[in-house]
Amino acid sequence: MTTTPPNSTADKILQGDLRAISRAITAIENHSPGSEQLLKQLFPYTGHAYLTGITGAPGTGKSTIVDRLAAVHRKRNEPVGIVAVDPTSPYTGGAILGDRIRMQGHASDNGIFIRSMATRGFLGGLARSTAEVALLLDAAGKRQVLIETVGVGQDEIDIVRLADCVLVVLVPGLGDDIQNMKAGLMEIGDIFVLNKADREGADRLEEQLHAMLSLVMPRDGWHPPVVRTVATENRGIEDLASTIAKFRKHFESSGQRQQKQIDHWQNRLLEMLESRLLEKVLHGKSGQARLRAAAEAVASRQLDPFSAVSQLLNDCE
């Protein structure tokens, strides 16, 4: 295995140095060139973290669930990394999550690292930055990485897709709209969390959910279950944690883990290739200008779009 020089940034991250981790995340968010080098050094030390993605509509209780799950992991002495990603706003979810967790007294706990991310880099690479931050936390020894993202759109689906296990959080009283729920969300949910089960309408929502889930084909022998929680009262959280563990075991024992990993990396490589290629073509002012000029030529029918793309590709060689 590769070794990193003592006291290098990589070495500090491997030892779980919180400041070094924090700085590296900023570098990742800014897509600064050093971050790629760092991730290259750290990659051999990754592959040990379990990534749980938590998504759902605003205010459904995701942060409260994350906080409670983190407490369960900490009780077992597992180091935890938490990333709160909010593609819609630079401040809301993440900052609130951080405050809540600090309030609950994880602050003095070195085994837990919390960070919020919202900045959308060049070419909208929020999913990519999240994936890189997850790798970093993995290298830093966080055996459990929790990724919270607010919303139910394509951005969030892209973000949670990188997780090993995806929790979709629903609550009663948001209207009877699970019919309207994005089909994509139904497909990515490995476990459905019916939170705020203390509220009226929980039974009905559960029935509806089961009815909908019965139409979804089980993936690799797994039928997504529904777990009821009242996160604020810590009810159902142990059950949720053991359902996640069951899911994990299901994939490990069925021998599909390796397959899942390969599928995962195939998607990731494709995304990296895409963004690398785009960066290459659109790099700097001249790249943007070339794109604009090509668009003008196509719009005025001086050039066909196929030739324009070939030209743009040739120009950056």
What's the CA gap between 207 and 154, in Å, rounded? Answer: 27
Structure tokens at 62: 């995701």
Which residue in 150, 157, 185, 193 binds ligand GTP (CB under 6 A)?
150
Which residue in 70, 227, 231, 308 binds ligand GTP (CB under 6 A)?
231
| Contact status: 137 vs ligand GTP (CB under 6 A) | no
Stretch that binds ligand GTP, among 4-12, 194-202, 257-265, 271-279 (CB under 6 A): 194-202
Residue nearest to Mg ion (CB): 63
- 316 makes contact, choosing from Mg ion, ligand GTP, none, with CB < 5 to 8 Å by partner type, with none
| Contact status: 149 vs ligand GTP (CB under 6 A) | no
Q: Which is nearer to ligand GTP, 78 or 198 (CB)?
A: 198
- 196 makes contact, choosing from Mg ion, ligand GTP, none, with CB < 5 to 8 Å by partner type, with ligand GTP
| Contact status: 63 vs Mg ion (CB under 5 A) | yes
Task: Output the smallest distance, CB 230 to ligand GTP, in A.
Answer: 4
Task: Output the smallest distance, CB 63 to Mg ion, in A.
Answer: 3
> Do the beta carbons of residue 117 and residue 126 sit within 8 Å?
yes
| Contact status: 116 vs Mg ion (CB under 5 A) | no
Stretch that binds ligand GTP, among 11-19, 24-32, 115-123, 196-204 (CB under 6 A): 196-204
| Contact status: 52 vs ligand GTP (CB under 6 A) | no
Q: Which residues contact 194 (CB under 8 A, 6 or more apart)?
A: 170, 171, 172, 202, 205, 206, 209, 226, 227, 228, 229
> Binders of Mg ion among 161-190, rule CB under 5 A?
none
Residue that the structure tokens 């609550």 belong to: 171
Task: Output the smallest distance, CB 297 to Mg ion, in A.
Answer: 47
| Contact status: 198 vs ligand GTP (CB under 6 A) | yes
Q: Which is nearer to ligand GTP, 58 or 287 (CB)?
A: 58
How many residues belong to the site for ligand GTP (CB under 6 A)?
Answer: 18
Q: Which is nearer to Mg ion, 98 or 201 (CB)?
A: 98
Which residue in 61, 81, 93, 141 binds Mg ion (CB under 5 A)?
93
Task: Output the smallest distance, CB 149 to Mg ion, in A.
Answer: 9
> Do the beta carbons of residue 190 and residue 222 sit within 8 Å?
yes
Q: Which residues bind ligand GTP (CB under 6 A)?
A: 58-64, 92-93, 96, 150, 195-196, 198-199, 230-232
